[in-house]
Amino acid sequence: MNKGKVSIFAERLGKMQQAANEAMAGYTPGGIRIPDSVYMARIQAELREATSSGNLMISRTFTITEGEFKGLKIWDNIVLEQLDASGAHVLYDRGIQNARRWVESHGINFPEDIRQLESVVNQINDAAPLCQVRSITTKKGDDEYTNVRVMKVLDESGAEVTAVEATQTAPEAAAAADQDILDGMDRAGLKAFITENNLAATVKVSVKDSEDDIRNKIRTAVSTAEGDAATSEAQAEAAPAEETASYDATTLLAFCASQQITEVEEGMEVSQIVEIMKTYQFKKAELSDDEVTMLSAIGIPDTNLIQPPPAPKPVAPKPAAPKPAAPPAKPKAPVAPAPSAAPKLGVPKLGAPKPGMLKPGVKK
């Protein structure tokens, strides 16, 4: 290690001490998962369209004001529209009901003319009231979504804001009323209640059941149905995955580093990182399925995912021209027979008779 460089860096860092102290005053840690619990938070809200679906929704940001997670944010949306089978935007019934409940919790009347809803949302945003909220994580398949329930709204003095009186019976009051009705019913009345409330499939009454047994079965069935309805509501609110902060800053920072996006820095909020990522294009062929899912979930448009140009089609080789036939071979010239060897004149052997001569002793 070069000690000279260390001393130079220490000197340069020392010159930044005061500026660093000032910068740290507004520091909020990133990449921390906020556990489900009750928190005090300031709320900000706006009416806007969902990035991918285009559905109208109230986007809410809750900034925690005290405790271990002070300064961190929880995001949640109230979806007001959904897409029908033809792809048109239509009212989402449960969403508009949740919007009314949220508006009235701030002591504000829900507008009869729904066109005024945006001004009401802006009014709440400008006030940035302090709220007691509960964060709830909902699992849907392999994904997790965060929903927020506003438990109470406080004014600047810390007193709870009186919610606008509901024009409909609250679920708790309705359940209590049902319980009072059941207590006063005889066996025949209880069986009629089961039929009128479509509980026959879940409440089975036998001859041995007393009236108290039947009441308990009815209450269990009603409680279970309310729990299922609450679960369905949480899932419906969490449906637009692209609008939920299901990916923390640490995950996005790691992805940006792999893509050499240098503008993203430690300490940025998720929303800031996403806005920078939207200015980049990504080669889809080089991304994993999880990374493609993440980009869609945080609202990166599909147009930012580029496909490689199609590979050129292989050109079929041209058929080779047929080679010209070889000319017929010339017939070989007949081989002349070798001349027969001329008889050699023999030299008579010694003792052999010569022509015209007789052997001795032979008369002619």
Cβ contacts of 58 within 8 Å, gap of 6 or more: 45, 46, 47, 77, 78, 80, 99, 102, 121
Q: How far is CA 195 from CA 179, 183, 200, 310, 336, in A?
A: 16, 17, 6, 64, 126
Tokens found for residue 232? 């369905």
Cβ contacts of 240 within 8 Å, gap of 6 or more: 50, 52, 53, 55, 57, 77, 79
Of residues 128 and 216, more confidently modeled: 128
User: Does residue 345 have a pLDDT over 90?
Assistant: no
132 pairs with which residues across the strands? 40, 152
Kindly indicate the confidence band of residue 57, based on its pLDDT and cuts at 50, 70 and 90.
very high
Predicted local distance difference test score (pLDDT) of residue 49: 92
Helices (H) then strands (E): counts for the chain: 10, 9
Residue with tokens 């909220």: 133
Quick count: other Cβ atoms within 10 Å of Cβ 245?
Answer: 20
Kindly indicate the confidence band of residue 241, based on its pLDDT and cuts at 50, 70 and 90.
very low
Give the DSSP per-residue string, 258-279.
HTT-TT--TT--HHHHHHHHTT
Closest to 147 (Cα-Cα) out of 80, 79, 96, 90: 79
Predicted local distance difference test score (pLDDT) of residue 242: 39
pLDDT in tens, 280-298: 888 888 888 888 888 888 8
Most confident of 42-46, 163-167, 248-252, 266-270: 42-46
User: Does residue 72 have a pLDDT over 80?
Assistant: yes
User: Does residue 1 have a pLDDT over 60?
Assistant: no
Strand segments, DSSP code E, in 113-166 are 130-140, 143-154
Cβ atoms of 284 and 293 closer than 8 Å: no
* Residue 331 three-state SS: coil
User: Region 42-57: what's the mean pLDDT?
Assistant: 91
Of residues 194 and 349, more confidently modeled: 194
Kindly indicate the confidence band of residue 51, based on its pLDDT and cuts at 50, 70 and 90.
confident
Dmax over CA atoms of the chain, in Å, equals 182
- State the DSSP code for 185: -
User: Region 177-205: what's the mean pLDDT?
Assistant: 76
User: Does residue 245 have a pLDDT over 70?
Assistant: no
Q: Are β-strands 89-91 and 81-83 bridged in parallel, bridged antiparallel, or unpaired?
A: antiparallel
Kindly indicate the confidence band of residue 240, based on its pLDDT and cuts at 50, 70 and 90.
very low
Closest to 166 (Cα-Cα) out of 109, 212, 124: 109
User: Does residue 173 have a pLDDT over 60?
Assistant: no
Cβ contacts of 38 within 8 Å, gap of 6 or more: 132, 133, 134, 151
User: Does residue 24 have a pLDDT over 50?
Assistant: yes
Cβ atoms of 298 and 277 closer than 8 Å: yes
Predicted local distance difference test score (pLDDT) of residue 347: 52
Cβ contacts of 115 within 8 Å, gap of 6 or more: none
pLDDT in tens, 95-141: 899 999 999 999 999 998 888 999 999 999 999 999 999 888 776 66
Predicted local distance difference test score (pLDDT) of residue 334: 64
* Residue 89 three-state SS: strand
Q: Tell me, what amino acid is at 243? A: E
Of residues 162 and 345, more confidently modeled: 162
Of residues 189 and 358, more confidently modeled: 189
Predicted local distance difference test score (pLDDT) of residue 108: 93
Q: How far is CA 104 from CA 58, 115, 229, in A?
A: 15, 17, 22
Closest to 61 (Cα-Cα) out of 218, 271, 261: 271
Kindly indicate the confidence band of residue 61, based on its pLDDT and cuts at 50, 70 and 90.
very high
Of residues 180 and 291, more confidently modeled: 291
Handedness of CA 357, 358, 360, 363 (dihedral sign): negative
Mean pLDDT over all residues of the chain?
Answer: 77
Kindly indicate the confidence band of residue 167, based on its pLDDT and cuts at 50, 70 and 90.
very low
Angle, helices 211-237/187-196, rounded to nearest 10 degrees: 20
User: Does residue 340 have a pLDDT over 80?
Assistant: no
Of residues 5 and 224, more confidently modeled: 224
Kindly indicate the confidence band of residue 247, based on its pLDDT and cuts at 50, 70 and 90.
confident
User: Does residue 308 have a pLDDT over 70?
Assistant: no
Share of the chain above pLDDT 90, in %: 18
